[in-house]
Amino acid sequence: MRSLVGPVPEPAERAASALRRCPRSTLELGADTSEVSLVHQVPDTADLWVALPMADVATVGFGGVRARLEVLDEITGGAAEGRCRRIVVVEGLLELPGVRAQRSTAARIARDLPDPVLLDVGAGVALVRLRASRIVLTDSSGVTDIDPEDLATSGPDPFADLEGHWLDHLNDPRCQVVPRMALRVCRCLPSERPLLVGIDRVGVDIELVGRDGRVHRERLPFTEECTSATELGTQLRLLAGASRYPLDRAALRP
């Protein structure tokens, strides 16, 4: 199987995308662990707003407390849904603002990241601020320490919010785009259908089962960086061996 390795987003961007999606995460406060329902990066900083059950904030006293946030970036669309592809760990000082400040912050967050949990801030949920001092990304590339300043000046992939819809659509057995992409890295398709497990602005990640029964992940780079859904659709068509301008313009739209 010929390897085709293309450019990938920087570690800080991959971490920011995982924090943006945040399908499952936990917050460790000493010996206690709490499930987190929402994480939102404070613009232009490495700080994070974390939605925590009100019952779990009693240990956050005046001056804050040291905490450790672990975010599992799980695939949210297609046959590979629920599979973890990277882990982001953020350590720092956790602070608890007043209820009025929490509600004001929730209103600002809702403009960018609407989530029903924000309606419960000040009642069943508290918004706490995690001031990051250490950030660690673990994925297929290994373990990487990320400077908080890099996270502050980076941002999530432009398709982080919509990636699950694209994966769900393209991994549908009725869609032949992914098998056509797979032919770029193998001469004949394996008996088990290839899976698209990642989409970002510069390429896609695809998984195939080799003759040895092992799963191989391949990187397929785009010829051009994408910033819009139209550009993404074009690059996906090109990877599948189609023309830049299809007759059916809705063919690759999720």
What per-residue string of b and e applies to 115-142 under the rule 16 or more CB within 10 Å gives b? Answer: eeebeebbeebbbbbbbbeebbbebeee
Q: Rounded to whole angstroms, how far apart are CA atoms 40 and 48? A: 5
pLDDT digits (tens, 9 = 90+) for 178-231: 999 988 888 777 778 889 999 999 999 998 887 777 888 889 999 999 999 999
* Predicted local distance difference test score (pLDDT) of residue 248: 54
pLDDT confidence tier of residue 3, bands split at 50, 70 and 90: very low
HEC-encoded secondary structure of 218-254: EEEECCCCCCCHHHHHHHHHHHCCCCCCCCCCCCCCC
pLDDT confidence tier of residue 118, bands split at 50, 70 and 90: very high
pLDDT digits (tens, 9 = 90+) for 39-79: 999 989 999 999 999 988 888 877 889 999 999 998 887 67
Contacts of 243 (CB under 8 A, 6+ apart): 237
* Predicted local distance difference test score (pLDDT) of residue 71: 95
* Predicted local distance difference test score (pLDDT) of residue 208: 87
